[in-house]
Structure 1
């Protein structure tokens, strides 16, 4: 380390000074000489090992660094909007104006505790991931020597309650409760499992009327400060072709006859003919329909959501014997594990089939050898039921 020095000043304090690998000069003052020498030794070791951090770098505010990080990420438009909203609402009010070097693990733990009192555990975990990514980037950029997130525990994952799908009768009540221009959208979501953004982003050219299929390769997303726009689906696995049941084909045909697609080809639009915003749809269409259908207390008082139509579709596939891989493909899940995590409780119980399989093979063999399968066997072996 170049030009390192430790000198006593006229006031009796010690000035420690050095130049880093970039030629930048740094200094600190100490009351005790040994403390100054220890600081110089630590900085020298950091320069040699390549972990040196400019002591002034940590003065950058969290918001400045986080915005720089956010704009560098290769996120899909919908993810970009979600990250911006989550940081603005839940992170910047606490950390935005703090210098990076002033953020301590205890600050993060207190912040996490406050969030847990008002937000779902999954939301808090997502905020932890964003905060961790931002602080790790600060370490890589040599703005911090280490991340204050190290050792901070994330909220425990809540035990997932099994999805309780809407019944056919409940879906039909919702279809009857929405305005006429949205009836086909309810039947489309319930009959294909398409997500809300995929339904709102559907254009006429994605419907193959002859083969009775719909191609899902886009979704309508909201980006702050911009009109609704078409973007890639949630994941690569979300790009899929779904068979259209005849009931959905008929509903779409009737819808387009009554509400023709506009210049952009959107099947579903607002009454003004514009791409439909989810917030406006929820306030003006969906929530009133849920109340009219008597489903405002569904799911322990949470009320039915548009996403529950997707769960209904999955439950129908499972009820009629479709495999996990088929359900995964129809829903556009990234893996079969995701499908099982959500819907495994809906597949028929296999206990009886397991018993029958073993009895048909092992039971027959045991009986053929003269052993009993209903009580103690020779040699003390018994077959438990």
Structure 2
């Protein structure tokens, strides 16, 4: 505690006055701060006491604030907001969900520098064996997604935040689980032809969208988000640059940079889409209030087609076909049309580079999902070659 005394000379009267002021060093401001001028030393001492308490309070608040900034939850929130513009809206919501549902219940209020590899492994194990707040066992894909999010957060803490040293990153050595391959049901060329030429498919209001999904392999949200201006009937082309999500929100952020693309429409598909666009223009003349939007595809009442609605319409049409025919089609989802496009064309010998460009994937992502197709063909080729050799009787 300190009270300083000063003598000041009045310019008017020439008399000398004694004044007292509280004076304290402020560690946050890194300079000395002063209280008001007092003629009474007792008042200055009271000011000094108040000033001391105020400084202690500010130092404590700053300490708490600094500590809170180093908590995992604060770092994770900062990382997600810093990268919000680089992620598609759906990706951002997915990461937000993984943080809130799986990671924050364990790490939110833990100092990020206190988290060690053993804590990460404990979280991983709790998700696998169901010993978590939700008492659920999660598969390899969910666990791996959590590990991916944790890696991004801790890398962000290393740089640019510099809250932990790179060698102390707890994600070093943490391995992802092996995801078992599960073959997704798809349609053959013959089954695609049978479905798209069937009465059940052609009678559907969404027939043009079904054709786009099966023949071009886009994501359903991309088909739903197409605008009239994104379709060039003369060049027979779609320009993919936006999506419509299941909540009816139009998004300009695509899945990745490769998702922004131009896709060629074969002749028959071009005619089908052009016919659907002409139908919309005719309906707009009759019902201008209902069809007043720029979407290429609309429902019967003129509203945009959401992916979940298109999913239901495809499933309904598929069920109707199978109930009316003896030879049933394998049951696939709307997204299964995308897998069907990739599988049938890759089996036909089309290159992964061409298919990935059409579908809006990177070649690496495409191969990760569909490399097993050529792997199976290689195995069949080697088995056939072995059978030819050993049939000659030279196996001994």
Tell me which interval the TM-score lies in, with the shorter structure as reference length. 0.5 to 0.7
Native 8 Å contact 1:58 1:144 kept in 2: no
**Alpha-carbon offset, residue 192 of structure 1:** 0.9
Listed as ranges, the gaps of 5+ residues in structure 1 are: 1-19, 24-53, 296-301, 355-373, 377-383
- Larger Rg computed on CA atoms: 2
**Matched pairs, number:** 302
Native 8 Å contact 1:58 1:100 kept in 2: no
C-alpha distance in structure 2 between counterparts of 1:277 and 1:88, whole Å:
26
Q: Give runs of aligned pairs for residues 286-305 of structure 1, distance below 5 A.
A: 286-289=314-317, 291-292=319-320, 304-305=332-333
| Equivalent of residue 207 in structure 2, options 183, 201, 210 | 183
Cα RMSD (Å): 4.2
Query: TM-score, normalising length from structure 2?
Result: 0.61
Give the equivalent residue in structure 1 for 2:340.
Answer: 312
Give the equivalent residue in structure 2 for 1:275.
Answer: 304
Pair 1:122-2:141 in alignment: yes
C-alpha distance in structure 2 between counterparts of 1:67 and 1:307, whole Å:
32
* Structure 1 residues 164 and 254, CA gap change in structure 2 (3 angstroms): same
| Equivalent of residue 152 in structure 2, options 125, 128, 133 | 133
Pair 1:342-2:369 in alignment: yes
**Alpha-carbon offset, residue 71 of structure 1:** 0.7
Native 8 Å contact 2:154 2:171 kept in 1: no
SS in 1 for 2:211: helix
**Alpha-carbon offset, residue 270 of structure 1:** 4.6
| Equivalent of residue 93 in structure 1, options 105, 108, 111 | 105
Q: Give runs of aligned pairs for residues 148-187 of structure 1, distance below 5 A.
A: 149-151=170-172, 153-161=174-182, 164-168=185-189, 170-171=191-192, 173=195, 176=200, 180-187=204-211
* Structure 1 residues 242 and 254, CA gap change in structure 2 (3 angstroms): same
**Alpha-carbon offset, residue 116 of structure 1:** 3.2
* Structure 1 residues 85 and 275, CA gap change in structure 2 (3 angstroms): farther
Pair 1:214-2:238 in alignment: yes
C-alpha distance in structure 1 between counterparts of 2:273 and 2:319, whole Å:
25
**Alpha-carbon offset, residue 287 of structure 1:** 4.7
**Alpha-carbon offset, residue 167 of structure 1:** 2.7
| Equivalent of residue 107 in structure 1, options 103, 119, 127 | 119
Native 8 Å contact 2:352 2:366 kept in 1: yes
* Structure 1 residues 150 and 353, CA gap change in structure 2 (3 angstroms): closer
After superposition, what is the alpha-carbon deviation per residue over 1:39-67, rounded to whole angstroms, capped at 9, x for unaligned? xxxxxxxxxxxxxxx99955544322221
C-alpha distance in structure 2 between counterparts of 1:151 and 1:318, whole Å:
37
Runs (4 or more) in structure 1 with deviation over 6 Å come to 350-354
Give the equivalent residue in structure 2 for 1:256.
Answer: 277
Give the equivalent residue in structure 1 for 2:295.
Answer: 266
* Structure 1 residues 270 and 91, CA gap change in structure 2 (3 angstroms): farther
* Structure 1 residues 288 and 101, CA gap change in structure 2 (3 angstroms): farther
* Structure 1 residues 159 and 138, CA gap change in structure 2 (3 angstroms): same
C-alpha distance in structure 2 between counterparts of 1:203 and 1:75, whole Å:
22
* Structure 1 residues 205 and 181, CA gap change in structure 2 (3 angstroms): same
C-alpha distance in structure 2 between counterparts of 1:120 and 1:138, whole Å:
28
* Structure 1 residues 233 and 258, CA gap change in structure 2 (3 angstroms): same
**Alpha-carbon offset, residue 187 of structure 1:** 0.9
**Alpha-carbon offset, residue 159 of structure 1:** 4.1
Native 8 Å contact 2:216 2:358 kept in 1: yes
Native 8 Å contact 2:204 2:317 kept in 1: no
**Alpha-carbon offset, residue 191 of structure 1:** 0.9
**Alpha-carbon offset, residue 188 of structure 1:** 0.5
* Structure 1 residues 135 and 178, CA gap change in structure 2 (3 angstroms): farther
| Equivalent of residue 355 in structure 2, options 323, 327, 345 | 327
**Alpha-carbon offset, residue 158 of structure 1:** 2.0
